[in-house]
């Protein structure tokens, strides 16, 4: 079954340091991970460590690793076939990630705020798509009618750079979980550095000119190591291109998932 799933789905992900961070000598504080389980379940996590937090990048990495480990463990057998089951799994993944940050902070005599990070988590299984979000990252899906859907609305505050973080005391109260009763044919999960290019925040509507070429690109990746490496390099070049950096100076992370269509070959930076 695992080999069949590898033939159906294509994945690519990359992070690039924002130009504002390069100027100050800071490294990228984003983290991401994706996984296709042998039973066909797809899991993607993206986190963005707060630039104002002393260890935001470490918080992002820890949040992604902890949430993914939990999700892979509970979904490696039969995934739930009811909405409340998905809700419970997503909520528990966030609880686990928050607890991991709390333990890390205590071990190093730091505060939770020192590890402030956002976290977006998406799982797809046959008949289901589940999304959880704390913060201003985003997850956009391509449904089976070729429509773009913002799965969870990015949590933007009244002022610039204001959002929610996994490290805050009421994080689980502001956790947004959305469950849809269909498995999407495409998924794009990103940190907030790409929001100006990707989504109309006021209307919570994805921009088709941004996403359509990306989904065409990832669908065209051949299932071999050389082509996958080339796709990764192309995505990095796109994220670090002048046309992207002209719109955002923040760190940028993007994970793309799409059903394969290798005959529709394309280059991202054409």
- Which pLDDT value is given to residue 170? 95
Write down the pLDDT at residue 1: 37
What's the mean per-residue pLDDT of the chain?
91
Q: Distance between CA 102 and CA 111 in Å, rounded?
A: 8
pLDDT for the residue numbered 261: 79
Q: Which pLDDT value is given to residue 4?
A: 66
pLDDT of the residue at 2: 42
pLDDT at 257: 97
Looking at residue 155, its pLDDT comes to: 93
Distance CA 261, CA 72 (A): 27
CB atoms within 10 A of CB 176: 17
For the entire predicted model, the pTM comes to: 0.92
The whole-number pLDDT of residue 77 equals 87
Residue-range domain boundaries for the chain: 2-258
pLDDT digits (tens, 9 = 90+) for 21-30: 667 667 889 9
The pLDDT, as a whole number, for residue 158 is 54
DSSP string, 156-217: --SSTT----TTSTTHHHH-EEEEESS--SEEEEE-GGGHHHHEETTTTEE-HHHHHHHHHH
How does pLDDT run across 90-110, given as a tens digit for each residue? Answer: 999 999 999 999 999 999 999
- Which has more confidence, 127 or 265? 127
- Give the closest residue to 211 by CA, choosing from 160, 168, 264, 268: 268
pLDDT over threshold 60, residue 195: yes
- Residue of 112, 222, 223 whose CA lies nearest to 169: 112
128-172 pLDDT, tens digit per residue, is 999 999 999 999 999 999 999 999 999 986 555 679 999 999 999
Q: Is the pLDDT assigned to residue 69 strictly greater than 80?
A: yes
The pLDDT of 248-268, averaged and rounded, is: 80
Residue found by looking up tokens 């389980």 in the block = 37
Question: In the prediction, which pLDDT does 6 show?
Answer: 67
| pLDDT over 80 (residue 7) | no
- The pLDDT assigned to 224 comes to 72
Q: Which CATH number fits domain 2-258: 3.60.40.10, 1.10.1040.50, 3.30.465.10, 3.30.365.10?
A: 3.60.40.10
Q: What is the mean pLDDT of residues 239-265?
A: 87
Tell me which residue has tokens 């201003």.
Answer: 136
């Amino acid at each position: 079954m695992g080999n069949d799933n590898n033939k159906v789905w294509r994945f690519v992900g990359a992070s690039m340091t924002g130009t504002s961070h390069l100027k100050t000598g800071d490294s990228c504080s984003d983290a991401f991970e994706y996984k296709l389980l042998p039973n066909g379940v797809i899991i993607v996590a993206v986190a963005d460590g707060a630039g104002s937090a002393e260890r935001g990048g470490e918080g992002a990495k820890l949040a992604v690793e902890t949430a993914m480990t939990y999700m892979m463990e509970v979904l490696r057998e039969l995934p739930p076939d009811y909405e409340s089951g998905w809700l419970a799994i997503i909520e528990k993944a966030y609880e686990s990630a928050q607890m991991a940050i709390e333990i890390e902070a205590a071990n190093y005599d730091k505060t939770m705020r020192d590890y402030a990070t956002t976290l977006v988590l998406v799982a797809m299984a046959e008949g289901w798509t589940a999304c959880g979000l704390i913060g201003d990252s985003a997850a956009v899906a391509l449904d089976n009618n070729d429509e773009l859907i913002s799965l969870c609305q990015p949590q933007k505050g009244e002022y610039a750079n204001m959002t929610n973080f996994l490290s805050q005391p009421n994080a689980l109260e502001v956790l947004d979980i959305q469950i849809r009763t269909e498995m999407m044919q495409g998924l794009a999960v990103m940190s907030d550095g790409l929001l100006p290019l990707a989504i109309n925040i006021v209307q919570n509507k994805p921009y088709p000119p941004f996403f359509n070429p990306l989904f065409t690109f990832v669908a065209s990746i051949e299932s071999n190591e050389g082509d996958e490496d080339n796709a990764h390099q192309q995505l990095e070049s796109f994220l670090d291109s002048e046309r992207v950096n002209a719109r955002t100076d923040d760190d940028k992370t993007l994970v793309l998932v799409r059903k394969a269509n290798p005959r529709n070959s394309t280059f991202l930076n054409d």
